[in-house]
Amino acid sequence: MNKEVVVIGGGIIGLCSAYYLHKEGHQVTVIDKSDITDGASFVNAGYITPSHIIPLAAPGMMAKGFKWMFNSSSPFYIKPQFNTDFFKWAWYFHKASNQKKVERAIPVIKDINLFSRDLFASIKASGDLGDFHFDRKGLLMLFKTDAAGEKEMRVAKKAGELGLEVDVLNHVQLKTFEPNCTINAKGAIHYGCDAHMTPTEFMPKMVSYLKNSGVLIKTNEEVTGVDLVNGKIQQVLTNKGSYRADEVVLAAGSWSGQFSKRLDIKLPLQAGKGYRINLERPTGITIPAILMEAKVAVTPMKGFTRFAGTMEFSGINSIVRKERVEAIAHAATDYYPNIEVNPVEMDKAQSGMRPVSPDGLPYIGKSNYIENLIFATGHAMMGWSLGPATGKLVSEIASDRKTSLPIDPFTPFRTF
C-alpha cells in the first residue's frame, strides 16, 4: 500500500530515505529548517568506510575525553556541560566502551557499511542523479609512531579476518601509492575496501532528482510538533502549515534528541561537532588518508582537497573554534610537509553537527510508543557512509517488508 510519508530532516540520511521511499512508490515530503546547503552532510570527509569497524565508544575513549577536556584544540574535546541529558549520555558511553560490546558491534558495522557502499554504486549505475564522483581507491591510515602503527595493525588483522581488503605499507611502498606528494609518515595500512565521494556535489544532485521525481521538499520550514491521536501521528506541524502522514521518519540529525523529547521519548543523543578546511589548489593527494596521531581525515574531492576532523562535544552550535581549525591545519603540514594551509583557507573553515549515540551505532527502527514513527539518526562519524543503507532500511520498514539487514542492533530503545 502506498503511503504518505513525511521525512523530518534533509541531510544525507533524510534524502536517502526519501530516495528509497519514492522508489517504493510512496508519496514523500521532506521538511528541513535550513535550505539544505550546509551542515554535516556538506562538510564531512565523504568517506564510505567498511574499514571503520571499531565504534567510537571503544575502550579508553572516555578517559581520553576527560584527559583532553580542558584542551579545546584536542582531537576529542568534551566541553563541560552541566545538564542531565549529557551526564546520562556520558554514562551510557562509558558503559558501552568495553571490549565485549565492541566485538559484538564489529560485524554489524562492517555489514551495514558494505551494504551502503554497494547501494552508492547502484545509485551511480542507475543514472538517476547523472554522473557524480564515486571513487574506490581505498583509505590510507598513516602513522608516524610505532605505537599508532601497532594499534592499527590489530584493527587491520581483525578486518582481514572479516574478509576486508587490507595491505600494510612501509615508507617506500607508501611513496609508490602517492608519488606526487611528500608524506611524512613511518608507514600506513591501506584498506582497499573503502571508497570516497564529494558531498557538495552529491547532495544538490540528490535534491534535484527528488524534486523532479515528485518528492515535495520544503526548505526553511521548521517542524514545531505533531498531531498525535491514540499513539499515532496524524499530522506533522510546522511554522508554515501541516502535513498528513501515514509514516514519519525522524532524520533530523543532532536535533533528533530534542524532537524526541517533545514526544516524551528519551533518545540518548549528543551533537559531536566536526570541522573542515578545503584547499582549492593542487596538492598531489590522490588517495584518502587518516592522519592517525592527529585524528584528521584527508580527502581528494572533485576540484579540491579536504582536511576534516575532530569530535567536539559542546552542545548544538555553529561556532568555529579557531584553535581547532589551526590544529587541523598544523596536522596537514606535519604529515604533508609541502602543504601549508594559508590564513584565507583557515578563515573559510566550516563546522557541522554529527548526531552521536552512546555506543556508536545508529538508531534505525520503529518507535515503541508511537505506531508510525521511524527513527533514522545517531550515525556519529558514519553518517555519510551509511546514508543509502539507512534510507533503504527505512523504506523497507515503512513498507512493512523484511529488511535487507537485521535491524535489532540499531533499535532506538536498546539498553546501554
Nearest 5°: phi and psi at 374?
-115, 130
**The listed CATH number (3.40.50.300, 3.30.360.10, 3.50.50.60, 3.40.190.290) that belongs to domain 4-410:** 3.50.50.60
State if pTM tops 0.85: yes
Give one DSSP letter per residue of 196-242, joined into a string. Answer: EE-HHHHHHHHHHHHHHTT-EEE-S--EEEEEEETTEEEEEEESS-E
> In a 3-state reduction of DSSP, which class is residue 93?
helix
User: Considering all CA atoms of the chain, what is the largest pairwise distance in Å, rounded to the nearest integer?
Assistant: 66
Query: Residue 83's pLDDT is what?
Result: 87
Nearest partner of 190 among 156, 157, 166, 224, judged by Cα: 166
Distance CA 351, CA 36 (A): 15
Rounded Cα gap, residues 259 and 246, in angstroms = 19
pLDDT digits (tens, 9 = 90+) for 298-344: 999 999 999 999 899 889 998 999 999 999 999 999 999 999 999 99
CA neighbor of 65 nearest in space, from 56, 74, 54, 78: 78
Cβ-contact 405, 398 below 8 angstroms = no
- Which three cell numbers mark 343? 590564513
How is residue 85 written as a grid cell? 541529558
Closest CA to 295 of 5, 16, 71, 122: 71
The domain locations on the chain are 4-410
Residue by residue, pLDDT tens for the chain (416 residues) are 799 999 999 999 999 999 999 999 999 999 999 999 999 999 999 999 999 999 887 887 666 666 666 677 777 788 877 889 999 998 999 899 999 999 999 999 999 999 999 999 999 999 999 999 999 999 999 999 999 999 999 999 999 999 999 999 999 999 999 999 999 999 999 999 999 999 999 999 999 999 999 999 999 999 999 999 999 999 999 999 999 999 999 999 999 999 999 999 999 999 999 999 999 999 999 999 999 999 999 999 999 999 999 899 889 998 999 999 999 999 999 999 999 999 999 999 999 999 999 999 999 999 999 999 999 999 999 999 999 999 999 999 999 999 999 999 999 999 99
DSSP string, 3-33: -EEEEE--SHHHHHHHHHHHHTT-EEEEE-S
d(CA 221, CA 40): 18
Tell me which residue of 106, 79, 138 sits closest to 316, measured CA to CA.
79
